[in-house]
Structures are given as structure tokens and as C-alpha cells.
Amino acid sequence: LAIRAGKPAYATAVSRSDVAAGWRQRREQGGCLLDVQANAVVLANLSMPHSPRWYRERLWLLNSGTGDLGYFDPQCDKFVPVAFCPGYLRGLAFWRDWAIVGMSKPRRERTFSGLVLDNRLQSKDAEARCGFAIVNLTTGNIDHWVSLEGVITELYDLQVIPTVTRAMSVGFRTDEILKLITLEAMPTSVARSDHTLETSKPPSPEITPMSSIFPNSLSI
């Protein structure tokens, strides 16, 4: 679901079938994009589309069955591919001039088999990976990527947390979460020579360049 101006604007569907599990027979070209406000299909013949997002006056989405990040061009009613990412795509966020695209490995079941994505990976002699790609919206190149290895094989969504570096997640299997305290930034009071207090703003957070956060190849 894509939100525009605080309201639901667009949604994707794997197919328009009204039969239980009918979408399985329409995975390659049965997907569609719906205009929520108009209650109409505005784009068809997609392959398992996912994660529509409104960004910079453009509707972006993932054509997951082909491995493409792209956008909807309402002038000619078509999907315009921008970048191919090696994986089943789910989860899309943006930061300045980059799109962050979530990638998953295929499941062992037949849900993802027989898609165009399989043929494209074989033609590029590549394997599907779990992680996320950082795509330059200007060039369409994958500037950086992060690979997740181990038991994690699928991602469903991702988000960007602005101004945060070295983010940490805390699980529930240990008591670490009971000992963690977070404090919001607050203004400091500075005493002046005339014994009055002057409130100063906290320093601006340091923004680490993207190139230093994400090396070209990084495995976790």
C-alpha cells in the first residue's frame, strides 16, 4: 500500500482471481496496480508486484517476479524498470537519491519457481541473496549492498531511520531488554555571567556519508 498526502493511494495485487489460491496460476503476468481513490486497475501484466511507494512525485514499486525496481508511468500506462536486483524483492524505502530494496532467497516450495526471475539469475550466472541493495535513482546502478547470511533467508519490509548510525536491535530471548534505557536528546542549560540561564540547542547529529556506512560488499 502506497500512501500519498496521508491517504491510501495505490495498492498492488498478485492477481485479480476470485478463486482460492488462484493467483498461483497467474504469477508471471497476473499482477496489477490499483488506484485506491479511483477504485480502478491502472497497470496490469505485472509479476507478483510488491511494496508500492510514493516518492518524489512518482509511484515506485517492485516487480518481484522479474527482480526489477521501477516506477509507474501514467502517461503511457506502463511499468518502467530502473534496476535489477538479484533476489525476490520485498520491502522498499528511500533516502535522498537512493532506493533501498529488500531481497530474499527463493523458498523451497513452488511459490517462486518458474518466474522470469529464475531465468534472469541464470543468464547472469548469479544466485538470489537475502539482504538489501542500495540503488542510485539517478543512474540505476547498485551503489552498495548488504548480504544477510545464516538462518535469515527472507525479508518482508525495511525502513530508513534518519540520522541514526550504528543502530542496534534487542531481542526477547535474554534479559538485555530489561536493562536498556534510551534517553531523548534535550537542550542543555548554560549559566551566564549575569546568573541567568540560557538554553542552547543540542548539537546537530553527525551524518555519516553513505559510502562509509555501506561498503560495496558487506556480509552480516
How far, in Å, CA of 59 to CA of 42, rounded? Answer: 12
* pLDDT the model gives residue 90: 97
Q: What CATH topology corresponds to 2-162+206-219?
A: Neuraminidase (2.120.10)
- Beta carbons within 8 Å of 166's beta carbon, 6+ residues apart: none
* pLDDT the model gives residue 190: 47
* pLDDT the model gives residue 187: 66
Global pTM?
A: 0.77
For the chain, residues with pLDDT lower than 50 are 190-200, 202-215, 217-220
pLDDT in tens, 77-87: 999 999 999 99
